[in-house]
Chain A
């Protein structure tokens, strides 16, 4: 983070340095355990995952989303519903588990697509450089200046047979550009390095250099980007669901739950509808981002050691 700290930890790292380079995994674990906040964030993530994915195992999706108007709007702890019920008599605790899981799954799905596409485009663009790079980057530039959210909303509402997978596709349509730019910048800095030139001279194919030699060198960057992307994609999904153009209404999402707060009556007199989901989203975004940053610091530390 800061100059002074970097210097001191670099010195420490030099002292510790042994003949073999430390594996990135070890550095990451050390960095996270050392940083108490990152450790807490990590524990929060594990708890959220246990709650959402573990809890959803015992739930039947159809039962959770079944409406029963007689049970509508129970308050905190009424009739055995810890977090009450919504307008359709659905148990908020159950919706929270499934909604949390769905939001996280969408976040993971979008991240997977964006990372794969972004990585491929970034590698090709950065490695070949020149005209290839220029053309690809103009396209990326253009997509980045498009108003993403309005277009996403229109696509969500006009696409036939809309389902969660289409949502992943629609968000990914705009998500990969940032990732590709990020990797491209780094690959561009690698293409003149000795190991790449040496490999080229010895007759390796471009394909081999890109995937067997450059790619392993950017693994730590991929990990960092994946973690930060997951957080930001969960944010995009919940935002879209919040305004009603994310996951279909039959699929619970954290955003849909928070969306209850769009009605002033719910904001004032029925906080159980939206407050738990809001707290959970806060917990997820803060902790996932923090762990991402801890990874970033760990990667920096590893770079200092090399």
Chain B
């Protein structure tokens, strides 16, 4: 198994290199340079020119790329053009919020999707299955942001059950008060995102159960006199859960790219909101760093998926 994992990690290296080149050129396309954030009314243009030369902005592009990459490894992502603070600290604050949102969303997603998928699979073609299929169809077909808008309108404004913006109430005090307020702010967006990310898991699980039900090993177990419930939990469910386990990484990756929309609707101060704010303010150094982080996290999510898959399903290790 370690061979598979190692090979999979090796595949990621060229991907990371290409990603970094892509982000580098995207950054080059954006107006401004690392000194834009430092320009004040008293900046001497000549001194600025000298600084630019010293920083290698007039060097050939490959040299610039190497320089950029070197800084990247040192953890230096530049200084925000607008906020005049290191991009890393700017992002770190927001990343924590996005992490919590993603974590709670993932938990809700699996808590909802697995029972739904199991119900649909066990009661194939009965009304339970049809209800799940309709639910699944709607969450698949409708663009996510429509759910967010309708959700915030109904539960946030009309019913007033949940707060409509921010990540923590300014009045929250004490450790538990703060945590409670944070969770209270996360619940609605997390539920709405979870609603959408259940789709593929439910579908995989249902198909898995329906397909496995008619397999020979299930028939064998039945004919040996194994009770139905045990056949289901020990044989059918176990095998049907394989694709679910492997989808874990891509669910995480999907949450990150989807974080932008939900964070914008709920004015939730996470990385997605930071991205949209930065582009609104033309804060290109932050943008570049965020794209790089989104890209690396997506790659890692996929890596995680493949590694989990090779752990739970020995058959694919042979490849």
Contacts and interface: CB of A to CB of B under 8 A. Distances in A.
Q: Is the interface of A mostly helix, strand, loop or mixed?
A: helix
Contacts of A135: none
A153 B257 CA distance: 12
B294 A278 contact: no
A150 B253 CA distance: 13
A258 B149 contact: yes
Given A147-B298, A151-B291, A158-B29, A261 B125 contact: no
Q: How large is the interface on A (under 10, 10 to 19, 20 to 34, 35 or more residues)?
A: 35 or more
A150 B264 contact: no
A274 interface: yes
B141 A231 contact: yes
B142 A243 contact: no
A285 B298 contact: no
Contacts of B276: 153, 243
Contacts of B31: 158
Contact of A150 (B140, B210, B291): B291
A262 B264 contact: yes
Contact of B146 (A258, A264, A293): A258
Contact of B257 (A149, A231, A238, A243): A149
A286 B294 contact: no
A150 B30 contact: no
B18 A142 contact: yes
A238 B143 contact: yes
Interface in B18-36: 18-19, 22, 26, 29-31
Interface stretch (A1-9, A66-74, A121-129): A1-9
Contacts of A180: none
Contacts of B291: 147, 150-151, 154
Interface string A140-163: 001001111111011001100000
A267 interface: yes
Interface stretch (B57-65, B89-97, B150-158): B150-158
A106 interface: no
B248 interface: no
A245 interface: yes
A150 B290 contact: yes
A246 to B, nearest CB: 12
Interface in A1-43: 2-5
A245 B150 contact: no
Contact of A267 (B157, B279, B299, B302): B157
A268 B141 contact: no
| Residue among B22, B145, B253, B294 having the largest count of chain A Cβ atoms under 10 Å | B145
Contacts of A295: none
B214 A286 contact: no
A264 B143 CA distance: 20
A268 B18 contact: no
A282 interface: yes
Interface in A143-197: 145-151, 153-154, 157-158
A271 B125 CA distance: 39
B124 interface: yes
Q: How large is the interface on B (under 10, 10 to 19, 20 to 34, 35 or more residues)?
A: 35 or more
A163 B114 CA distance: 44
A145 B15 contact: yes
Contacts of B295: 145-147
A3 B264 contact: no
A281 interface: yes
B274 to A, nearest CB: 11
A281 B146 contact: yes
A157 B275 CA distance: 13
A142 B265 CA distance: 30
Contacts of B260: 149-150, 153, 243
Interface in A253-306: 258, 261-262, 264, 267-268, 271, 274, 278, 281-282, 285-286, 289-290, 293
A124 to B, nearest CB: 22
B30 A158 contact: yes
A93 B210 CA distance: 47
Contacts of A278: 146, 149-150
A2 B125 contact: yes
B287 interface: yes
A142 B15 contact: yes
Nearest to B124: A2
Contacts of A149: 257, 260
B251 interface: no
A83 interface: no
B279 A147 contact: no
A243 B272 CA distance: 12
Question: Would you list the 8 A-B pairs with minimal beta carbon distance, nearest first?
Answer: A235-B143, A147-B294, A289-B141, A261-B149, A285-B141, A2-B125, A285-B142, A268-B157
14 contacts: A3-B124, A145-B15, A150-B260, A150-B275, A150-B291, A153-B276, A154-B30, A235-B143, A239-B145, A258-B146, A264-B157, A268-B157, A274-B149, A289-B141
Interface of B: 15, 18-19, 22, 26, 29-31, 124-125, 137-138, 140-146, 149-150, 152-153, 157, 164-165, 210, 214, 253, 256-257, 260-261, 264-265, 275-276, 279-280, 287, 290-291, 294-295, 298-299, 302
Given A271-B153, A289-B137, 15 more contacts: A2-B124, A142-B15, A147-B298, A150-B275, A154-B279, A158-B30, A238-B143, A242-B145, A242-B261, A243-B264, A245-B279, A264-B165, A268-B157, A278-B149, A278-B150
